[in-house]
Amino acid sequence: MMNRKKRIAVIGGGAAGLMAAAYAAELSCAGMEGSDTEVLLIEQNDRMGKKLRITGKGRCNVTNDCDRDEFLSNVPTNPRFLYAALADFDTQDTKAYFENLGVPLKTERGKRVFPVSDKAGDIVEAMVRACREAGVQFMQGRVTAIHAEDGAVSGVRVGNKDIAAYAVILATGGCSYPVTGSDGNGYRLAERLGHTIVTPRPSLVPLVCEGDLCRRMMGLSLRNVRLRVMHLGKNTCVYEDFGEMLFTHYGVTGPLILSASAHIPDVESGQYELQIDLKPALDDAELDARILSDFKKYANRDFINSLGDLLPLKAIEPVAELSGIDPRRKVNTISREERHALGAVIRCLRVRPIRPRPIAEAIVTKGGINVKEVNPKTMESKTVSRLYFAGEVLDLDAYTGGFNLQIAFSTAHLAARSAVWGE
């Protein structure tokens, strides 16, 4: 089944696959006369990096400008597995890599690193160009099987065609955003070769909430609010941050909510409460003074008609109801205690999440190939020789901020080095 050249087949043309293919080709001098190795990148979509092009709202948060310890503190699932991969290719290496490919980068709040252009397409095109310049061969098609003989990889089947391969790097992603090609095929391919799959679950995902509060505020986008996630049973805060969020017909979404979701994997337990501070820039005294000022301004109006300067239109009725003040009361009859009750609602708007949205809507998949069955120093399968894994197909996931893409780049870089050098 083998041909004259030693072929490395990379399955998946996303972040991990593009990195793995480019680096493997670079190490093996693929495409140069006399080289005994060639790299084949197989992607089922009609173009590379389909999911990568929409990450970070199309801006592509490529990494996080932090050290190893801070990085690993943002990886809730199997962080120790990443020591060797990060030693091989860390956040600073990622920054240098894209700068050298001609993509200037910038660092924003939370040490998030983006292309200066704010265009994810620039990242994808730079990686595709790096593959081409290194001599990577491209093939469109769906891999339906990975062949193995005597406990080692021998090739792949693309559609109905068998292709010989000395080594295979599986970088098919998880099963979030299936329209981009991340449809769980990598799990099936690995499982057929004896690997265990940790049940995939959504992470970095919108949340469904109980009651009709969110539906009534559907379409309301909030910026610069503070979110606290409380575990009611333990009376502890499991997550707190500032940012943007959006109310929908089912619950809540937006960057702040997606980040929070990673901290509440057991959201179905019903033990959590989202507490939204609508005016985090004001302390309690300043907020009360602001409300009092508006009440003086609209002293002769009904209470419900006095909140337009203080709150977004869609939040007025729900907040007024939660305050317990009769919406048709004249403002000049509202007591100090009632005013404080209004302030308390604005300071802490409570929403109860009950489940995540479907995994197809998640940014990242939690779960995947059990890392206990993978050598962390090489990314090689412990079950099948010369089979390597990279990226989201593994049971690795992190919080938002560029950490998940860095995991993809680091594991891919190490997998490529191991595949070429046989480490």
- Give the per-residue pLDDT at 1: 37
For strand 197-203 and strand 364-369, is the pairing parallel, antiparallel, or unpaired? antiparallel
Taking every pair of Cα atoms in the chain, the longest distance, rounded to a whole number of angstroms, is 90
pLDDT at 3: 43
Token digits of residue 69? 């310890």
Task: Profile the chain (423 residues) by mean pLDDT over runs of 10 residues.
Answer: 71 97 89 72 94 89 97 95 98 98 96 97 98 96 97 96 97 79 88 96 93 96 96 95 95 94 91 97 96 96 96 97 96 96 97 94 91 98 98 94 96 97 73
Tokens describing residue 5 = 């050249």
Q: Give the Cα separation of 89 and 391 in Å (integer).
A: 13
Q: Are 153 and 167 in contact (CB under 8 A)?
A: yes
Dist CA 109 CA 59 (whole Å): 14
Tokens 């091989």 found at: 88
Task: Look at residues 305, 283, 302, 306 and name the one whose alpha carbon lies nearest to residue 294.
Answer: 306
Q: What letters, b where the CB count within 10 A reaches 16 and e where it falls short, cover 382-415?
A: eebebbbbbbbbbbbbbbbbbbbbbbbbbbbbbb
Kindly state the tokens that stand for 34. 């006399």
Predicted confidence at residue 223, as pLDDT, reads 93
The per-residue pLDDT for 37 is 86
Token pair listed for 10: 């990379």
pLDDT of residue 28: 86
Residue 283 to residue 275: CA distance in whole angstroms: 16
| Size (the chain), residues | 423
**Cα(287)–Cα(28) distance, rounded to whole angstroms?**
64
Task: Determine how β-strand 112-115 pairs with β-strand 251-253.
Answer: unpaired
Q: Taking a C-beta distance cutoff of 8 angstroms, is the pair 286, 245 a contact? A: no
Instruction: Report pLDDT for 2.
Output: 39
